[in-house]
Amino acid sequence: MDEKIVLIGAGSASFGPATLIDLYASKVLTGSTIVLHDINKDKLEMVYEVVTQDNKTLGNKYNIEQTTDRATAIKDADFIICSIEKGDRFELRWQDNTIPRKHGSTEMMAENGGPGGFFHSARQIPEIVRIAKDIKKTCPEAFFINYSNPMSRICLALKRATPDLKFVGLCHQIQFLLFHLPIMLNRKYKDLQLTTGGLNHFAFLLGLKDLTNGEDLMQEFNSKCMKYFKNKWDRFSFADLTFEVYKRFGYFPYVGDNHLCEYLQIGSKYTKVQDLIDWITRMEQGNKGGNDKLIRYYNRLKKGRYPKRGMFSRGGSGERGIPIIEAIIEDKNSHEVAVNIPNNGIINNLPQDLVIECSAIVNKDGVHGIKLGNIPKNIASILRIEASIQDVCVEAILKESKDLAIACLAMDVNCGSFEMAEAIYNEMTELQKKYLPNFK
């Protein structure tokens, strides 16, 4: 295989290692060129040396390259995987999370929704749009895979700013539910086919069947779900908010309380701020652990005591980027449970100028959403509220409009007044000035 696969943000402690693990497990991509790109030269050098050593243990399965120059990295690329974060991820994340609440907001997670989610979007979107425009100029046929958050808003910005870009956004949130289903239904995972729909971190299980006999399993899922989860309450995944929404709307939101709470007015009633603080702390510790692990392996390499098994040459991560690349190359017509792609007639009763999360088929022509028609009206209604916020958010950032930015903050379900929105905007834009667009 002679594909060129570029990892932008190769130093990412969240998705960089997962992608490399999946590359080393691949039986399809052997012989490809893997380009590691990051703007952090020191981190990139460490990753490159460790990856190169792991590659040797596999008989030099890939051609490994590194560069801090984006133009060099993406030249003649076939696939580009992006997992960047602009600025210090957690220093800024804590600002996103705490400052809106100081001004009276019911801000919860502050990753993809709420006033904090707006500022996360404002830092991420301009840089990723610049990457996308470079791709369209340098390697227009390349397929772009985005792992960076805020997923829905970044992907919507890509759709608007680079409408011909071939892309998909991927999130691992569905894995929360995938772990439980085979146990709950007493079936093998490979025999289950899920149909999902909604927005990233705000999506629902809409269909479920047994592939061995075509049996519709939604009734069985609904009859067993609450009993199964009765003693499995988890404040970091399925807890009070998930089960309240499931009870009221009739379909299971598989994203977990800690993400669902960002998008609903009732989020703060069922989710505790301390739980979200604990979750972000756990993520921060995990990020530090990933960086520390890289440094340990790098130091052992330098001392000639590198582990034979290596850092990346093991198993699979569960992320879907590499399997999707394989499915495109091999024209597999494989089924993906949850991807983020432009709506384009997949869900009729949501805006068409929207990026949705849905199930899809993947083949040589790309990623194709499974058409759902009209989804239940109550679900469509709450999704449209967030869709409207995303619409204004992306427009504000692409146009660098202060008025639209404040309007977006004010209309968010976690805000609710222009006075609060202006107070949040003024403090955040001053604090994060060097990472934000020039709003005017």
- Residues catalogued as catalytic: 172
Distance CA 278, CA 260 (A): 16
Distance CA 78, CA 66 (A): 16
Paired with 66 in beta bridges are 36
* Total residue count of the chain as it appears in this document: 440
Distances (CA, A) of 429 to 348, 416, 434: 37, 19, 9
User: Is there a contact between 290 and 17 (Cβ–Cβ < 8 Å)?
Assistant: yes
Cis bond before residue 17 (omega within 30° of 0):
no
**Could you identify the residue written with the tokens 């079936």?**
187
Tokens for 153, please give them.
């808003």
Distance CA 101, CA 272 (A): 13
